[in-house]
Amino acid sequence: MPAVAEKAANALPYPMSDVPSRCPPLFLKKKEDFERVKREGQRITTQFFNVVSSRSRLGNTRVGIVVGRRLGKAVVRNRGKRIFRELVRQTYQCLLKGNDIVIFPKRPALTLKHQHLYEAWITTLMSQGLMFSPNSPTPLLPLSGGCEVMIRGV
């Protein structure tokens, strides 16, 4: 038993990224919040996902992911949620504060390479003003808040 306790003590609490997924202000949880965003928000449609964004009543940005049964069985739906949760964790520090965002993944997003989906995600958020704008047109764009974003074709 002591070896297990020692191993657990040395383990990183959040191995995938710096932003914890269990952090209360990061993800939307209540049905009322999802309904408010869908009712009041602005819809953005892409080939890989739909995004609805609305101003938040709180000072921070929260994100919700909605995956319906049309996407596939439970394994496929859970994979879609994991993929988009990781995108949110990677870009959370770059998001403008004060917005609630709901993501509706589409089936093509599940077969896309992570880099291409990441680029589509960044491009969509920047075009809608939900993410900090880049300062200089270089392939690796430094964003305020310590974020670096790679955009294709720049």
Sign of CA dihedral 125, 42, 108, 66: positive
* CATH code (residue 84): 3.30.230.10
Is there a domain that residue 12 lies in? no
Helix (H, G, I), strand (E, B) or coil at 25: coil
Helices 74-91 and 114-127, packing angle to 10 deg: 60
pLDDT value of position 139:
34
| pLDDT at position 153 | 45
Give me the domain span that covers residue 21. Answer: 17-150
Reply yes or no on whether the pLDDT at 89 is more than 50.
yes
2 falls within a domain = no
47 close to 38: Cβ distance less than 8 angstroms: no
3 inside domain: no
Number of structural domains (the chain) is 1
CA separation for the pair 40, 25 (Å, rounded): 20
Average pLDDT score, the chain: 78
Q: What is the pLDDT of residue 59?
A: 81
pLDDT tens sequence across 98-152: 899 999 999 999 999 999 999 999 999 998 888 875 443 333 344 444 555 555 4
DSSP state of 14: -
Flag whether 7 is in a domain.
no
Higher pLDDT, 74 or 7: 74
> Which of 40-49, 64-73, 88-97, 138-147 has the lowest average pLDDT?
138-147
Predicted pLDDT of residue 138:
32
Degrees to nearest 5, angle at CA 145 with 139 and 150: 20
Collect all residues with Cβ–Cβ distance below 8 Å to 147 and sequence separation of at least 6: 91, 93, 94, 132
What is the pTM assigned to this prediction? 0.71
pLDDT reading at 22 higher than 70: no
Which pLDDT band, with edges at 50, 70 and 90, does 27 fall under? confident
Please indicate, yes or no, if residue 10 is contained in any of the structural domains.
Answer: no
